[in-house]
Structure 1
Amino acid sequence: MTERCPWCGTDPIYVAYHDHEWGVPERDPRALWEKLILDGFQAGLSWITILRKRDNFRTAFRGFDPEVIAGWGEPEIDRLIRDAGIVRSRAKIEATIGNARAYLRLSERQGFDDFLWRFVDGRPIQNRFARIEDVPAQTVLSQRISKELRDAGFRFCGPVITYAFMQAVGMVNDHLVTCPAHDRVASMAHSGA
């Protein structure tokens, strides 16, 4: 019997995210950066909260353009703290600005996508978990990536956030083997998607 991963429940937004985005290998550096930022905003909250506000985040953060955000200061922080459409955490907003600067520095050296995907040799790790209880919250690899991100100047990217990010952008395939998306996502890894 095949059924979706249970974490997405029946909420149509969550189901669509599970079916079409989560675990799909993402190679676009800006899309990767946006997802890392949103995962940082999720800290202490549920992912569905962020998912419901994602369009508001994209508007408030000007399409997650790191070149724009890197130049922001107190006026933009004040504007964002007043924006009820996003998570209004000064620490996370300030981290996003700093993360934009870190992203630009890293991009000049090697590219954000190359930086991330080198940890898995450019190919998603194919896990074969049968139960949600078997899926880890973090791994040795997420700890290593988290440390390197922090060394590069990123914040709100601890090992748990980093592992959730890795799952979402398809660096690991953590769809349960009973989920129809598992094999579909696995085939994308082999096709170089």
Structure 2
Amino acid sequence: MASSTTTTTTTTTKSDHETPAFPVTANNLQDLLAYTSHASGHGLVSLVSLPSGSFFAPITAYTPCSTPQWHTLQVSASSHISLDSAFTYLNHSCNPSLEIDTEKMQVRVSKSRNLEKGDALSFFYPSTEWKMDRGFECLCGEGQCVGKVRGAKEMDKKELEKWFVNGYIWELKEEQEKAKTMGH
């Protein structure tokens, strides 16, 4: 991720050059984050500093979705939601600043690092996504970068252990491993 960013409260989205669909006031996030524009696109930046593992915000603004799409968040083995807040603009990183806990429906600071004011807000997409609608090449540049991001289904269990991953992802991984050992 780019180390220098310009913070703005309104910006255009990369795809349609219009104001973002969700204001930072949706989900009461205005004191926690702001939209940013930087060399590689758009995202969110923190307005607060918090220690690792701290509660960041609840997820209260969302709509259930019947099918996974590029912008949805998987919240169980078979359910997805559309985040109806600025959280929909969280980018992926292999060294994420945040963790999304779908069981508690909350976002917290990553257990592996503190969050500083001005940090890019990101999470590890396979922590919630079993199979992604669209895979992509990760550009985070971190030492533990996974390269192609396609969801937890495509990752080795041992590799996934490096990150916070939701319980249903571990259950699906166990089912996948059992099927492999049974020859399916």
TM-score range, shorter chain: under 0.3
| TM-score of the aligned structures, taking structure 2 as reference length | 0.25
Give the structure-1-normalised TM-score.
Answer: 0.24
Greater helix fraction, Structure 1 or Structure 2 = 1
